[in-house]
Structure 1
Amino acid sequence: MSSPASVTSSITVLAENIGGIDSTDVTLTPGVNVLTGRNATNRTSFLQTIMAALGSRQPSLKGDADAGRVELTLDGWQYTRTLERCNGEVVFDGEPYLDDPELADLFAFQLESNEARRAVRSGDDLRELIMRPVDTDEIEAEIDSLEAEKRDLDDQLEHLAQLETELPGLEEERIALDDEIESVTDRISALETELDEFDLDIEASRARKDAIESAFADLQAARTELESIEYDLETERESYAELEAERDDLQAELAALDDEQTSPDRLEGRIQELRARKRSLDTTVSELQSVIRFNEDRLTDDGFEIELEEAADSETETDGDITEQLLADDDVVCWTCGSHVDRDRIESTLERLRSLRHHKLEERSELQAQIDDLTSRRKALRERSQRRGELETRLSAIEDDLERRQQRIEELEAERDEQRARIDELESDADTFENAEYSDIIETHRELNRLELERENLEAERDEVQARIDDIETTLADRRDLEDRRETVEEALTECRTRVDRLEETAVDAFNEHMDSILSLLEYENLDRIWIDRREKTVREGRQTVTKTAFDLHIIRSTADGTSYEDTIDHLSESEREVTGLVVALAGYLVHDVYDVVPFMLLDSLEAIDSDRIAALVEYLEDYADCLVVALLREDAEALPDSYSYVQEI
């Protein structure tokens, strides 16, 4: 379904059986919306309701309901989401605002369970979190395509450069041929003048002169034909020799191609198998993360509040039993069976789950390395197979062409021999006219015929050179377009190769800039600065050693006497840590242009931050979302201005 670009009018949210909500109908406005009330007043559940309508799969169905529904009306567009319990799982359906909620879940829905906030609290990899939405496979495919186009453009431009070097020589050759043609033409004119000066007075002499001229005209035509045949024959022989050389080169190249036993299709099957395993690991990692998050939340709340049933003979219970229950500070009510369990046992189980998730992440990285290696091998095999097919096709065409040209050579050789015999016959006829009276005329005719034939050959050669010059100049006219396209491809290639680096730099700059601004605004005592430093590190991925980027979080504090020192994240107060997590989410929100994807930003669980700082933080964040919805306790909301929209009942 299409989505509005921004929020320009009121928003209506209707929900049934979402989180702790039975049913509700709430109207929000563009700008800041504050959900106020005591604890357990469904403020977080309402934020989950908005998340569900926007496309998130994190909201939960009410515990005692089999189905739930959300309806969100925004600028005349209506978005719906249904939740239904099926075989112990909650199935989502409907037409939400987003088809893919990943960006919003990571950076716009900043509830307590938000991964950015949790990553800061637990010291997880901030770089992996912020760069997770970047599709590196798509970038690599785009780089491969651009590199192939660039190679093709480079080949074309190199060919044009070679053609350009031919032009000066061709121009000189054309000028030399023009000069030679002019010289031959002058000699022909002189001979024609000389023939005109011969005077055969009697009619018989005139007839004999005509016969002489006719005989030499036939001889000239025959010699011209012979020259043409010999030229065609020489051209065919040169072409034949070039084809033979090309055939030898192709055969050598074909022989040099190693016969790879593994087929690309077989590798494709292996790649698909590894990708299926990786997808399975992705699902496992996601499920483990959900389980860990759920249990951490429950552990933070000391389990579910379970009302213990009193026995019918409660009068017989001793005060000592009640005292023992009240003193069981190290026990937690299990949220699966309702029994009391030692907190250390639950934390130990959680640590094993975290270790398992870490192991699965490493296994996923190794699978990705294997996929990359097999993909490279498959590409090389396909290129080798394609080249072998091209060579075999070209060799077959060359063999056919050689056969045709050999036949043509034989035909031309036969024509040449016949023409030579005819010339010998015509020369014999011309010799009968040689006598003392006509010897000068005959010799002049012979020289004239030779020069005319020479001029024809020179003119044909000159025309070929001129045609070659014209072709080169026409081809060179396209060079500017090719150079412009190559420059465009080079810029696109550079952009692709540096896209991840630029996103990382932008993320770090955004975090550092906003962190400085917010710390200055909130005025934490002796906390001078928090910033991220981007550095390169060498890690192992499967059998390979690769260089990766890491985001290191630095904290600078100062003592009472003004001495500065670097602290660790473990020593941040809960308030400082929550603010840092919110800024990490904001950096991802800005780097990935989440404001263009979803016009909402949701805030919750800010109790660790004092009310004045909450007010300053909300004022700072309201510029970055069309609709900012924040859940606050009443005492915290009192510090916010009256100009905001307030929702007190859900």
Structure 2
Amino acid sequence: MSSPESVISSISVLAENIGGIDRTEVTLEPGVNVLTGRNATNRTSFLQSIMAALGSRHSSLKGDADAGRAELEFDGNQYDRYLERRNGEVVFDGDPYLDDPELADLFAFLLESNEARQAVRRGDDLRELIMRPIDTDEIEAEISTLEAEKRDLDDRLERLSQLDSELPGLEAKKRELEAEIESMTEQIADLEANLEAFDLDVEASRDRKEEIESAFADLQAARTELESIEYDLETERESYAELERERDELVAELEAFDDDHESPDRLEGRIQELRARKRSLDSTVSELQSVIRFNEERLDGDGFELDLEDPVESADDGDGDITEQLLADDDVVCWTCGSQVGRDRIESTLERLRSLRQDQLDERSELQAQIDDLSSRRKELRERTQRRGEIETRLSAIDDQLERREERIEELEAELADQQDRIDDLESEAETFENAEYGEVIETHRELNRLELERENLEDERDDVQARIEEIEGTIEERSELEERRERVEDELTDLRTRVDRIEENAVDAFNEHMQSILSLLEYRNIDRIWIDRREKTVREGRRKVTRTAFDLHIVRSTADGTTYEDTIDHLSESEREVTGLVFALAGYLVHDVYEIVPFMLLDSLEAIDSNRIADLVEYFEDHVDCLVVALLREDAEALSDEYAYVQEI
């Protein structure tokens, strides 16, 4: 399971003033590298140097140095990190392997302080840790964007369905118009034939006939022009009315916005303050939990065994106050000051610490609820501001269009009045030809004029219907493309909506699978199974109750007589607990594809596990990592394969 940038060459590591290291250069190899030696031989400091060059900030500068560096070179590339002490703080600089080391810090750099291992040791919320690298806000933003696109696609497809149902009526209308045009064309042909049949033999009569025909031709052209002006005027008026309706709607929408002058940037600042406070509470809760667990363990063991009494007993010691002897059974040696302290006082202090931790947890939940509310408000304000700007821009454009259309309407109304006067004059002129001699010719011309005008209108209407048919047919061709896009959007939405669930399920499955394999491999006695169960629970966040997923760690043991029972993480041995933490980190490493971003895994502080089991564990981890670097004591490294690369001096 190698990364796209698998390690195929030797790895050169240079470290100066990191941890306890003055200066060292070490060459590692692809595969397993074992750092061996006694305690306090800078093995952990060397691992921190590798982490620093890879991008982690969980590295320390040597106490007597003001600057340090770590360099990593492999496969022809070099990565470096510089540490400098400024104003009492260590500042990191350089060009490390990773820009964002979060995943590697959680699931690849498995030193004793690693959060995944610590979470298992303390019994913390495993689900929160495995899901921490997932940006749920970004997922929700992507979902909102895709939902808006899906609604748009649905609307367009719905319009296409309506257009599709409109086609049969348009086709029928077109056929009906063509039949009317054909019938009217036949009538016009008959009238034209009648006019040709009139016999006007005298030359003057011919001239008179031409005069009549010219007059009626002018009248027909004027009426056609009048209809064109009326159509343009009606179109402009409809457009003007539509723009007024749109303007009224936008003005009403704009007035509906409240006068809330709250700034999204100010909310952002408040959100950052709350998040900083929540991070501080997280740290405090973690520290409190460590203090509580440490004291509980010491209390269970009755403190440290310190010989604080004089070894020479007086003669009266054996016959002392029986009450004092009984009370002494309830005293323990304080592990902080070494004095005898009543158990009830320590338990009372522990109870106050537990209460304080619960108060901190409640405050953290309240802070998260406030963050959620403020984030929703900030998003709403940003959308409102954007919409207000869009409305104001559109209103300005509408005002410009209304002004232009109003001017155009006035122009058309003047043209219409002038054209109507011209038609009145032409009709008056045509009436002068109405007499007994030319009455029939004039009537025929009038009828022919009327029919030709009606045919022209029908042809225009038919052309409009044909254009509409072609428009619909062209638009409907987009349906298959829109349906394919909608299907892709639906798949993307499904993927986003189930991504968190899938990651949780994969993490649980990976842990359970590897835990079962490793338990079989390491052969821990009386542990039948360790697994995580994923369940839904209702929790209170501020004033709201929300559903959250929880990871419950289950441990089943068996006694010598075959009886099985469920145990807790607190009762696991240190070795068993360490192995469980490492397997949980491996599950996160695989679920989040950490091997694709960093080809290294570092292991340290395995002393609680016996050497044979360490050997089996290293061999198991080797299958999933390009370069595994393990820090071990010499005696713990003896059981490992001779084929590994060994580093004995740092």
TM-score range, shorter chain: 0.7 to 0.9
Greater Cα offset, 117-126 or 245-254: 245-254
Which residue matches 1:308? none
Is 1:273 the counterpart of 2:270? The answer is yes
Which residue matches 2:141? 141
Cα RMSD of the aligned pairs, angstroms, is 3.6
Which residue matches 1:449? 449
Equivalences for 1:92-111 in 2 at 5 Å?
92-111=92-111
Greater Cα offset, 82-91 or 498-507: 82-91
Q: Which amino acid aligns with 1:485?
A: R
| Deviation, structure 1 residue 183 | 0.9
Match of 1:18, SS? coil
Match of 1:97, SS? coil
Which residue matches 2:380? 380
Alpha carbons 2:278, 2:368 under 8 Å: kept: no
CA deviation digits over 1:60-94, x for unaligned, max 9? Answer: 34445554443333233333334444554444444
Structure 1 Cα separation of the partners of residues 407 and 91 of structure 2:
76
Alpha carbons 1:36, 1:632 under 8 Å: kept: yes
Gap runs ≥5 in structure 2? 299-309, 313-331
| Deviation, structure 1 residue 632 | 2.4
Which residue matches 2:610? 610
Are the structure 2 counterparts of residues 166 and 9 from structure 1 closer, same or farther at C-alpha, using a change threshold of 3 Å? same
Alpha carbons 1:188, 1:451 under 8 Å: kept: yes
| Deviation, structure 1 residue 362 | 4.7
Alpha carbons 2:278, 2:367 under 8 Å: kept: no
Which residue matches 2:203? 203
Greater Cα offset, 171-180 or 11-20: 11-20
Structure 1 Cα separation of the partners of residues 30 and 287 of structure 2:
32
| Deviation, structure 1 residue 348 | 9.5
| Deviation, structure 1 residue 553 | 0.8
CA deviation digits over 1:263-310, x for unaligned, max 9? Answer: 241x43133133134225425644885798799999999xxxxxxxxx
Equivalences for 1:483-632 in 2 at 5 Å?
483-632=483-632
Structure 1-normalised TM-score? Answer: 0.84
Gap runs ≥5 in structure 1? 302-317, 321-328
Alpha carbons 1:288, 1:353 under 8 Å: kept: no
Alpha carbons 1:84, 1:90 under 8 Å: kept: yes
Are the structure 2 counterparts of residues 353 and 269 from structure 1 closer, same or farther at C-alpha, using a change threshold of 3 Å? farther
Which residue matches 2:180? 180
Are the structure 2 counterparts of residues 423 and 470 from structure 1 closer, same or farther at C-alpha, using a change threshold of 3 Å? same
Alpha carbons 1:38, 1:633 under 8 Å: kept: yes
Greater Cα offset, 229-238 or 454-463: 229-238
CA deviation digits over 1:348-400, x for unaligned, max 9? Answer: 99998887676556544433332321232233334344444544554555555
Match of 2:623, SS? helix
Structure 2 Cα separation of the partners of residues 94 and 289 of structure 1:
31
Equivalences for 1:226-375 in 2 at 5 Å?
226-255=226-255, 257=256, 259-265=257-263, 267-282=264-279, 285-286=282-283, 330=333, 360=360, 362-375=362-375
Are the structure 2 counterparts of residues 16 and 492 from structure 1 closer, same or farther at C-alpha, using a change threshold of 3 Å? same
| Deviation, structure 1 residue 195 | 1.9
| Deviation, structure 1 residue 215 | 2.3
Alpha carbons 1:113, 1:293 under 8 Å: kept: no
CA deviation digits over 1:303-323, x for unaligned, max 9? Answer: xxxxxxxxxxxxxxx998xxx
Structure 2-normalised TM-score? Answer: 0.84
Are the structure 2 counterparts of residues 533 and 243 from structure 1 closer, same or farther at C-alpha, using a change threshold of 3 Å? same
Alpha carbons 1:104, 1:594 under 8 Å: kept: yes
Match of 2:524, SS? coil
Greater Cα offset, 242-251 or 221-230: 242-251
Alpha carbons 1:34, 1:632 under 8 Å: kept: yes
Structure 2 Cα separation of the partners of residues 404 and 644 of structure 1:
84
Seq. identity, %: 73
Structure 2 Cα separation of the partners of residues 109 and 358 of structure 1:
31
Are the structure 2 counterparts of residues 299 and 218 from structure 1 closer, same or farther at C-alpha, using a change threshold of 3 Å? closer
Q: Which amino acid aligns with 2:270?
A: E
Greater Cα offset, 417-426 or 511-520: 417-426
Aligned residues between the structures:
618
Which residue matches 1:56? 56
Are the structure 2 counterparts of residues 602 and 16 from structure 1 closer, same or farther at C-alpha, using a change threshold of 3 Å? same
Alpha carbons 1:35, 1:631 under 8 Å: kept: yes
Structure 1 Cα separation of the partners of residues 402 and 290 of structure 2:
75
Alpha carbons 1:4, 1:75 under 8 Å: kept: no
Alpha carbons 2:4, 2:596 under 8 Å: kept: no
